């Protein structure tokens, strides 16, 4: 499998650049933003290494300026999806037999180009197409490079894991790719997740169909182009923007669908799981199902919390990228004793945030991703305005005249089961419940059980006994836990990310645990001097 050519050192995280005024990275990014804003890219499907243009297309627009068209994207239908399945299966044998060091080198080369010349292209397309600020795009694209480098490292760690061998015997384990193809379906919110879903399985020799989100398709297309430029063989990853329904219908149920790699909403993952169950007898193998899904992430404050740090965590954690990170803070529990001080700080800080065009570098927040998300947020805001179970402390308005803008909003909820305290909104709306200091234990129970999700959570406390108690009580409430830090910002290799319950299968994107899901081990025993005896010594008469 390996020939012994391994990376010698564990990778370091990609450097996150600062984009300070007049810095070379800022100038390069501005030029690229200008270039991409003034063109309309025609995005083809890429199947078996060939660009395919279909009649059915969709328009790709800027969320913060929805009349500005960035691209026109071709959509695959039944015929193209079948072609893509065939192209993947045709590419499979040669790809899985490629010597490991060449597969590894290819992905390390992709990472290298993301660090260098492709950085402005990927950052600018992520900013314009997904309405991220320069910094939010930078951490997203740095994460894409991390996924590649740590992916190669994790694969070789896995290959190194070999069984014991006794005298005259060699036991070995071959980590085969899955016997079929991978169906990768990605969300809009991270270019890095889009890239990682088909790529992680490909690192260990799988072939894939990749359906990007229609609202992240521009940046995702540039990544696909980069893979091809770096020499990814035709058919290993097939780029097929299409409707979710078509992907489900024609790809998910295919007998050779061997693995499903998904990030997105809980409802879509559950519908696919159900569909797989209904077709279980027709698959060649039991498909591996890996899904990272919804969340209702929290910050839970103790009376001993550092209020200034808590306020910063709430404002950054809830409103960066418009609250559209899977880990964004969307509910907060605060004890009465620190509420007055905290309230003043978060209202003041939120009032200063600039929302607008992400090409202006003083912008803190762009627009939410599309009309559907805008309408969802608007619904929550209108119901909150009308409700006597809560009070909007700041924000509460939205405006779709130019872009899908939703004000950063803080809702003080008088009941912990008010809808905005328990449902995933995926927008810049955070709900706060103030509890009596004497009711810490009961309130932690509510935090643990009020939603079906368990993705990320944070506690703020300075009292060490309280930290111990809170960590224990909230152990199953999330897959990523933070102490005195915001509940967002997981870094590959540092805080392996993923949640349980309705938040996913918790296979920790970018880690060894995820890589394990894309291989099917094959154990071999070889005897150097095989026994020629049939009768065992103990059978002799004394």
Answer for which of 61, 154, 248, 376 binds ligand NAD (CB under 6 A) is 248
Q: How far is the CB of 373 from ligand NAD (least distance, A)?
A: 7
Q: Does 503 bind ligand NAD (CB under 6 A)?
A: yes
The DSSP string of 191-202 is HHHHHHHHHHHH
Q: Are strands 181-185 and 208-211 parallel, antiparallel or unpaired?
A: parallel
User: Is 419 one of the annotated active-site residues of the chain?
Assistant: no
Q: Does 126 bind ligand NAD (CB under 6 A)?
A: no
User: Is 292 one of the annotated active-site residues of the chain?
Assistant: yes
In the bound state with ligand NAD, the residue whose beta carbon lies nearer, of 190 and 405, is 190
In the bound state with ligand NAD, the residue whose beta carbon lies nearer, of 272 and 381, is 272
Of 364, 342, 362, which Cα lies nearest the Cα of 410? 342
Q: Does 188 bind ligand NAD (CB under 6 A)?
A: yes
Question: Residue holding tokens 């328009």?
Answer: 59
In the bound state with ligand NAD, the residue whose beta carbon lies nearer, of 90 and 485, is 485
Between the alpha carbon of residue 170 and those of residues 166, 167, 175, 528, the distances in Å are: 7, 8, 16, 8
Q: Does 191 bind ligand NAD (CB under 6 A)?
A: no
Q: Does 37 bind ligand NAD (CB under 6 A)?
A: no
Q: Does 49 bind ligand NAD (CB under 6 A)?
A: no
Q: How far is the CB of 452 from ligand NAD (least distance, A)?
A: 12
Answer for which of 32, 424, 448, 507 binds ligand NAD (CB under 6 A) is 424
Answer for which of 236, 247, 390, 398 binds ligand NAD (CB under 6 A) is 247
Q: How far is the CB of 516 from ligand NAD (least distance, A)?
A: 18
What SS3 string covers 46-113? EECCEEECCCCEEEEEECCEEEEEEEEEECCCHHHHHHHHHHHHHHHHHHHHCCHHHHHHHHHHHHHH
Answer for which of 4, 24, 166, 245 binds ligand NAD (CB under 6 A) is 245
Q: How far is the CB of 5 from ligand NAD (least distance, A)?
A: 32
Residue 233 and residue 140 in contact, taking contact as beta carbons nearer than 8 Å: no
What SS3 string covers 391-429? EEEECCCEECCCCCEECCEEEEECCCCCHHHHCCCCCCE
Q: Does 257 bind ligand NAD (CB under 6 A)?
A: no
Name the residue with the smallest CB distance to ligand NAD.
Answer: 244
Longest dimension (CA), the chain: 98
**Secondary structure (3-state) at 266:** helix
Annotated catalytic residue within 326, 329, 398, 487: 326
Q: Does 326 bind ligand NAD (CB under 6 A)?
A: yes
In the bound state with ligand NAD, the residue whose beta carbon lies nearer, of 270 and 449, is 270
Q: Does 504 bind ligand NAD (CB under 6 A)?
A: yes
Q: How far out from the chain centre does Cα 139 lie?
A: 13
Q: Does 84 bind ligand NAD (CB under 6 A)?
A: no
In the bound state with ligand NAD, the residue whose beta carbon lies nearer, of 171 and 270, is 270
In the bound state with ligand NAD, the residue whose beta carbon lies nearer, of 320 and 424, is 424
- Count of residues touching ligand NAD (by CB under 6 A): 31
Q: Does 489 bind ligand NAD (CB under 6 A)?
A: no
Q: Does 221 bind ligand NAD (CB under 6 A)?
A: no
Annotated catalytic residue within 32, 80, 143, 292: 292
Query: Where is 301: in which H helix or E strand?
Result: strand 297-301
Q: How far is the CB of 339 from ligand NAD (least distance, A)?
A: 28
State both tokens at 348. 């003041």
Q: Is 22 exposed, middle or buried (0-12, 13-18, 19+ CB in 10 A)?
A: exposed
Question: Can you state the percent helix, strand and coil of the chain, rounding each to 5?
Answer: 40, 20, 35
In the bound state with ligand NAD, the residue whose beta carbon lies nearer, of 185 and 313, is 185
Answer for which of 14, 32, 140, 292 binds ligand NAD (CB under 6 A) is 292
Q: Does 254 bind ligand NAD (CB under 6 A)?
A: no
State both tokens at 72. 């026109």
State both tokens at 141. 């694209």
- Rg of the chain's alpha carbons, rounded to an integer? 25
Q: Does 426 bind ligand NAD (CB under 6 A)?
A: yes
Between the alpha carbon of residue 364 and those of residues 231, 319, 354, 387, 442, the distances in Å are: 38, 9, 5, 29, 36
Distance CA 385, CA 154 (A): 49
Q: Does 233 bind ligand NAD (CB under 6 A)?
A: no
Which listed range, 76-84, 136-144, 154-162, 495-503, lies at the site for ligand NAD (CB under 6 A)?
Answer: 495-503
Nearby residues of 303 by Cβ (< 8 Å), 6 or more positions away: 335, 337, 338, 437, 463
Q: How far is the CB of 454 from ligand NAD (least distance, A)?
A: 10
User: Which residues form the catalytic set?
Assistant: 292, 326
Binding site for ligand NAD (CB under 6 A): 185-189, 193, 211, 213, 244-245, 247-248, 263-265, 268, 271-272, 292-295, 326, 424, 426, 455, 497-499, 503-504
């Amino acid at each position: 499998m390996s020939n012994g050519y391994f990376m010698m050192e564990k990778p370091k995280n990609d450097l996150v650049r600062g984009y300070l005024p007049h810095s070379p990275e800022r100038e390069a990014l501005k030029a690229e933003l200008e270039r991409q804003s003034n063109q309309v890219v025609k995005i083809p499907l890429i199947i078996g290494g060939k660009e395919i243009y279909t009649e059915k297309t969709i328009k790709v627009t800027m969320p913060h300026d929805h009349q500005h068209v960035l691209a026109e994207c071709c959509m695959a239908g039944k015929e193209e999806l079948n072609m893509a399945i065939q192209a993947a299966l045709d590419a499979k044998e040669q790809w899985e037999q490629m010597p490991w060091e060449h597969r590894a080198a290819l992905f390390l080369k992709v990472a290298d180009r993301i660090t260098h010349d492709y950085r402005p292209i990927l950052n600018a397309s992520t900013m314009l197409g997904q309405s991220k600020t320069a910094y939010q795009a930078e951490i997203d694209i740095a994460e894409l490079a991390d996924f590649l480098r740590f992916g190669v490292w994790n694969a070789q760690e896995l290959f190194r894991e070999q069984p014991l061998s006794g005298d005259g015997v060699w036991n070995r384990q071959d980590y085969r790719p899955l016997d079929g193809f991978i169906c990768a379906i990605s969300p809009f919110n991270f270019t890095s997740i889009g890239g990682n879903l088909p790529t992680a399985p490909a690192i260990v020799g799988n072939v894939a169909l990749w359906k990007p989100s229609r609202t992240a398709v521009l940046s995702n297309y540039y990544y696909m182009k980069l893979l091809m430029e770096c020499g990814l063989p035709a058919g290993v990853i097939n780029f097929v923007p299409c409707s979710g329904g078509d992907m489900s219908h024609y790809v998910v149920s295919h007998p050779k669908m061997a693995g499903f790699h998904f990030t997105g909403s809980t409802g879509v993952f559950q519908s696919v799981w159900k569909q797989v169950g209904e077709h279980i007898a027709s698959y060649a193998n039991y498909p591996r199902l890996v899904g990272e899904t919804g969340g209702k992430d929290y910050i839970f404050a103790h009376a001993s919390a550092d209020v200034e740090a808590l306020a910063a965590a709430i404002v950054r954690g809830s409103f960066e990228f418009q609250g559209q990170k899977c880990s964004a803070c969307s509910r907060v529990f605060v004890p009465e004793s620190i509420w007055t001080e905290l309230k003043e700080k978060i209202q003041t800080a939120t009032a200063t945030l600039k929302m607008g065009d992400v090409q202006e570098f003083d912008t803190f927040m762009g627009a939410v991703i599309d009309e559907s998300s805008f309408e969802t947020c608007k619904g929550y805001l209108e119901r909150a305005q009308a409700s006597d179970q809560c009070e909007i402390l700041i924000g509460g308005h939205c405006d779709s005249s130019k872009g899908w803008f939703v004000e950063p909003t803080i809702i003080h909820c008088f009941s912990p089961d008010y809808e905005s305290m328990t449902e995933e909104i995926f927008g810049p709306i955070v709900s706060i419940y103030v509890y009596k200091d004497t009711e810490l234990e009961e309130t932690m129970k509510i935090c643990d059980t009020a939603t079906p999700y368990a993705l990320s959570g944070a506690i703020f406390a300075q009292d060490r006994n309280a930290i111990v108690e809170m960590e224990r009580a909230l152990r199953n409430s999330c897959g990523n836990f933070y102490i005195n830090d915001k509940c967002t910002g997981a870094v590959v290799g540092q805080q392996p990310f993923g949640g349980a319950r309705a938040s996913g299968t918790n296979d920790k994107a970018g880690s060894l645990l995820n890589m394990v899901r894309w291989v099917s081990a094959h154990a071999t025993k070889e005897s150097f001097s095989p026994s020629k005896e049939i009768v065992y010594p103990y059978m002799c008469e004394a």
